[in-house]
Chain A
Amino acid sequence: METSAIFEFRGISKRFFGIHALKDVSLVLRPGVVLGLVGENGAGKSTLMNIAGGVIPPDEGTMFLQGQLYRPLDPNEASRAGIGFIHQELNLFTNLSIAENIFLESFPRMRGLPFIDRRTLADTTRQLLASLNMDFSPSTKLEALAPGERQLVEIAKALSYESRIIIFDEPTTSLTAKERERLFSLIQRLRGEGKAIVYISHILGDVRALADEVAVLRDGELVANAPVADLRIDRMITLMIGRDFDNIFPAKTSRPGQKTILKVDALSQTGIARNISIEVHAGEVLGVFGLMGSGRTETARMIFGLDEYETGTITVGDSVLPARDPVAAIRGGMAFVTENRREEGLLMNVSISDNLGLVSLAEFSRRFGGIVDRKRLREAVGRIGAELRIKSGSYERLNAKSLSGGNQQKVVIGKWLMTRPRVLIMDEPTRGIDVGAKFEVYTIMNELASQGTGILFISSEVEELMGICDRIVVFSRGEIIRDFPRHEFSQERIMRSAFRQEDAAVLDA
């Protein structure tokens, strides 16, 4: 092992469900160095770090910590060995205090007695918080803290173990801009203190700004490991997806038609939405932008029939839809890809093929008795899977749970595509999926539009909307305040609209 390295992966391999998640990966972590780890969903980043963190064992290969063989049996051992892991989903308890969360596995005890030494607990916690410039009392309940502050508590926990290696997995997904800046300065400071840092993120710009070295994983293999200066963003993307990549967005080939396919008229529900009127034409991609909480998802749910509304009419084509009736909406030609695929989009413990066939079951079953024509269903499911490039083993033997995030999202979309919808509502369809899969989703949207489907595309990323949509409507506090046709697209103006600062000269960050 190199003398300057503090941790080494040597020849690590791991399989899940018969597919290689990691193949012969060798990587070195050095003190005082930030290593950016990038790759598509399913490339193996989290798996590799989970192996280091003691969550899962490798199938082959070895690890070395400061020259010694390292083989943790559980996450506790890894923590005590000095590996701090800040997960994407924080492992904290909202009903406990900051001090209790930090020292949950290692409460200081009173000498000889099985009681917690509360004073030492409070003092040590205060010191840790001070080192992170956090002003809270150690007994503050965690639920009182914002996501960015909770993350700092998780970092404090890692530091309490005197971790020499700290791994950050997608740390900025729930942070505000200010919290992000604070995290970045903290990472710089930790680096200055000689810690080895691993930074995993899809936001390549951040990775470039923070990292000293970058490692790129693709399909479980390490395809690049170089100083950050040698890897510009487009080079990173090319390495991540394995082919040349000109553009983030596919070229638009469709033009919106004349016919109105979805008409929402004066939709209102007290406290949620006010007088919403939307028109989507056949072949049009209509973007819906707005800040979190502006009422976009709620409006979509009302349109589809999951929630009630007080006034308004929804018309698909020529027929008016009854309220609160998803079955009628689907029969009328509507489809809804919801925001959270785990809770509302997929049946996790059910096979991939049953998930894909769920909405369009009636088409594949005989009139009398409802017996499913399994052969026809299998063919149709296979076709959709191939069209959407869903990467997986057997669709019939494996569950939706076994798929990566991007493939799961494709299954949700595929399920709706099988109904050949006239109107497709998509709520944050590219959230949490990698660059390559995003491109594929955009391509699918383009194809659908060119076939005459009207698409309502809800997203929080302005660039994404600008790249794909024909028009963008902006929501704010339950109302539509502005409608931007394509030739008027401007990132700044759309953002300002969402903040209701159309005419303000400068926007305060």
Chain B
Amino acid sequence: MTLPPLAEWPRRAILSEYFVLILTVAYVLVLWPFIPWLLGQRNVGDILSNMWPLLAIAVGQTFVLVSAGIDLSQTSIMAVTSVIGAMIMTRGLDPVLFSKSPFWGIFLGEQGGPLAGSPAAVPVAILAMLLVGTIIGLGNGACVAFIRMPPFIVTLVSQLLFSAVAIFLTKSENIRHLPDEYLALGQGNLGIVPIAMIITVTLAVTAHVLMSRTAYGRRLYATGNNPVASRVSGVSTTRVIVSVYAISGFCAAIGSILYSARLEMGRPTLGSGQLLDIVGATVIGGVSLAGGKGKVTWTFFGVLFYVVLANTLNLLNLSFFTIDMVKGGVILFAALMDVMRTRAMAARN
């Protein structure tokens, strides 16, 4: 299947790296007459605040996809880190809900968690969340790299395990009464710039530089393209593989920080159902599921498009089911376009 004959500028647009961005702009322009408040200040704020956490997590997934793997456990990492961080910071827990929790009486009490009220609560909690996320990632990576288990199976098992752990720790209850300093991370601004944006953009820029400008990045692309040839050429593919899953876990933890701060609670079911959003947005951006191909900028465009799409579908008052069907259809379309574009680009050269 190849592209049909086209005039020059549509052809250039489709083959361009910014295709998804152009598509997003076109989509917004088409819908704007029907939903004028789409570009209103409030809605744009909504779109952006949805974008930052999703982008942070998708950046991590990008690393894993480029290595020719996949991380299905990111949402469970979000859940378990959300719960652990909240447990450390919380300033009050209802005994009726939490007395069955395994930590009740040891770390948790009616006054909240072990650092309740202390100024160290938020930094320690954040550190703990990042650490837990990274360690789970390292575990995933070790299984894939050393035991040579397929990434799909390893991360699926992690997903099941850690979702269950999160629920077990809180007996399915949400943890509230989190300190204001923490909530500011997800909801507050530094001047006019949301803190969530600062965090995510810093993460994304660092990730982009890592992937596109460093020796590590080249070794990552090599591993994703041909692990055998990479190994012969002296690339430590095991180190690369372990690192991408650790990065993915770390990014999932950052996403969890932002989401939990916005929701003002530690949720054992955080991220549930969002796996499609994460992987779908990355794939829409053009990152290949087969490995070796993808950039952080592409993920950015994919997430932007996805968030705009979800937002407009909501504004159009479509039912929950219709929205999911449309999302699925769009991802299918994106994958199809990717195949056609790859062929067209090869023919063009």
Question: A residues bordering B, Cβ < 8 Å?
Answer: 17-18, 304, 306, 326-327, 330, 336, 338, 343-350, 354, 357-359, 361-362, 364-365, 369-372, 374, 397-398, 402, 415
The answer for the CA separation of A364 and B217 in the assembled complex, in Å, is 13
A397 CA / B209 CA spacing, docked (Å):
20
A398: chain B residues within 8 A (beta carbon): 349
Report the separation of the CA atoms of residues A350 and B230 in the bound assembly, to the nearest whole angstrom: 12
Given contacts A372-B214, A415-B233, contact A349 B219 (CB under 8 A): no
Which of B77-85, B134-142, B220-228, B257-265 binds A? B220-228
* A361 adjacent to B226 (CB under 8 Å): no
Question: Out of B228, B236, B292, which one reaches A327, CB within 8 Å?
Answer: B236
Q: Are A306 and B235 in contact (CB under 8 A)?
A: no
26 A-B residue pairings within 8 Å (CB atoms): A18-B349, A306-B231, A326-B232, A338-B232, A344-B229, A344-B232, A345-B232, A347-B221, A347-B222, A347-B292, A349-B293, A350-B292, A354-B222, A358-B230, A358-B234, A358-B235, A359-B233, A361-B218, A361-B219, A369-B214, A371-B209, A372-B213, A372-B214, A372-B215, A397-B349, A398-B349
Q: How far is the CA of A365 from the CA of B209 in the complex (A)?
A: 13
Cβ-defined contact, A354 with B221, below 8 A: yes
Judge whether B225 and A365 touch: CB under 8 Å. Answer: no
Flag if B226 contacts A348 (CB, 8 Å): yes
- Of A330, A346, A374, which contacts B229 at CB under 8 A? A346
Contact B232 A372 (CB under 8 A): no
B216 at the interface (CB under 8 A from A): yes
- Residues of chain B within 8 A (CB-CB) of A348 are 225-226
Complex contacts, A345 vs chain B, CB 8 Å: 229, 232
Given A357-B218, A370-B216, A372-B213, A347 and B225 contact (CB-CB distance below 8 Å): yes
Number of A-B contacts (CB under 8 A): 75
CB under 8 Å from chain A, chain B span 113-127: none
B233–A358 contact, CB under 8 A?
A: yes
Establish whether residues A350 and B214, one from each chain, have CB atoms under 8 Å apart when the complex forms: no
Contacts of B233 in A (CB 8 A): 358-359, 415
- Min Cβ gap B243→A in Å is 12
Q: How many of B's residues come within 8 Å of A, CB to CB? A: 23
* Inter-chain contact B349/A350, CB cutoff 8 Å: no
Give CA–CA (A344, B225) in the complex, Å.
11
Q: B7: shortest Cβ distance to chain A, in Å?
A: 21
> A361 and B349: CB pair below 8 A?
no
> Which B residues are in CB contact (< 8 Å) with A306?
231-232
B227-262 interface with A by 8 A CB criterion: 228-236
Query: Per a CB cutoff under 8 Å, which of A346, A350, A370 touches B215?
Result: A370
Q: Which of B209, B216, B221, B231 contacts A326 (CB 8 A)?
A: B231
Q: Is the interface of B mostly helix, strand, loop or mixed?
A: helix
Residues of B within 8 A of A369 (CB): 214
B211 to chain A, nearest CB (A): 12
Beta-carbon nearest neighbor of A337 in chain B: B232
Within 8 A of A (CB), among B138-168: none
Report how far A371 CA is from B212 CA in the complex, Å.
9
A349 adjacent to B292 (CB under 8 Å): yes
Residues of B within 8 A of A357 (CB): 218
- Chain A residues contacting B214 (CB-CB under 8 Å) are 365, 369-372
Task: Establish whether residues B228 and A344, one from each chain, have CB atoms under 8 Å apart when the complex forms.
Answer: yes
Are the C-beta atoms of B225 and A350 separated by less than 8 Å?
A: yes
Closest Cβ of chain A to B295, distance in Å, is 14
Minimum CB–CB distance from B230 to chain A (whole Å) comes to 7
Cβ contacts under 8 Å, A18 to chain B = 349
The interface centre, meaning the residue of A343, A364, A371 with most chain B CB atoms within 10 A of its CB, is A371
A398 to B214, CA, bound (A): 20
In the complex, chain A residues whose CB is within 8 Å of the CB of B222: 347, 350, 354, 358
CA distance A347 to B234 in the complex (A): 13
Nearest neighbor of B291 in chain A, beta-carbon distance = A349
- Would you give the shortest CB distance from B247 to chain A, in whole angstroms? 15
A305 to chain B, nearest CB (A): 10
Interface residues of B in 260-319 (CB under 8 A from A): 292-293
User: Which 8 interchain pairs have the tightest Cβ spacing?
Assistant: A365-B215, A370-B214, A330-B234, A361-B215, A370-B215, A347-B225, A358-B233, A17-B349
Task: Please determine whether B234 and A402 come into contact, CB atoms closer than 8 angstroms.
Answer: no
Q: Which residues 163-194 in B have Cβ within 8 Å of A in the complex?
A: none
Residue of B nearest to A328 (CB): B234
Complex Cα spacing A371 to B228, Å? 24
B contact residues around A17 at 8 Å (CB): 349
Measured between alpha carbons, how far is A165 from B290 in the docked complex, in Å?
41
User: A354-B218, A369-B214 are known contacts. Are A347 and B230 too (CB-CB below 8 A)?
Assistant: yes
Name the A residues within 8 Å of B226 (CB-CB): 343, 346-348
Q: Which residue of A lies closest to B231 (CB)?
A: A326
Instruction: Report the minimal beta-carbon distance from B124 to chain A, rounded to whole angstroms.
Output: 28
A349–B349 CB distance below 8 A:
no
Given the complex, which residues of B lie within 8 Å of A362, measured CB to CB?
215
For the complex, what is the distance from the CA of A446 to the CA of B251, rounded to whole Å? 52
B239: nearest residue on chain A (CB-CB)? A327
Chain B residues with CB under 8 Å of A304's CB are: 232
**A327 and B235 alpha carbons, distance in the complex (Å):** 7
Most-contacted residue by chain A among B213, B214, B233, B292 (CB, 10 A) = B233
A411–B292 alpha-carbon span in the complex (Å): 20
Closest to A326 in B: B234
Residue of A nearest to B349 (CB): A17
Nearest Cβ on chain B to A376's Cβ, whole angstroms: 13
A327 to B221, CA, bound (A): 18
List residues of chain A with CB within 8 A of the CB of B221: 347, 350, 354
Report the nearest B residue to A365, measured CB to CB: B215
Return chain A residues, CB-CB under 8 Å to B209: 371
Contacts of B219 in A (CB 8 A): 361
Interface flags for B313-334 (1: CB within 8 Å of A; 0: not) read 0000000000000000000000
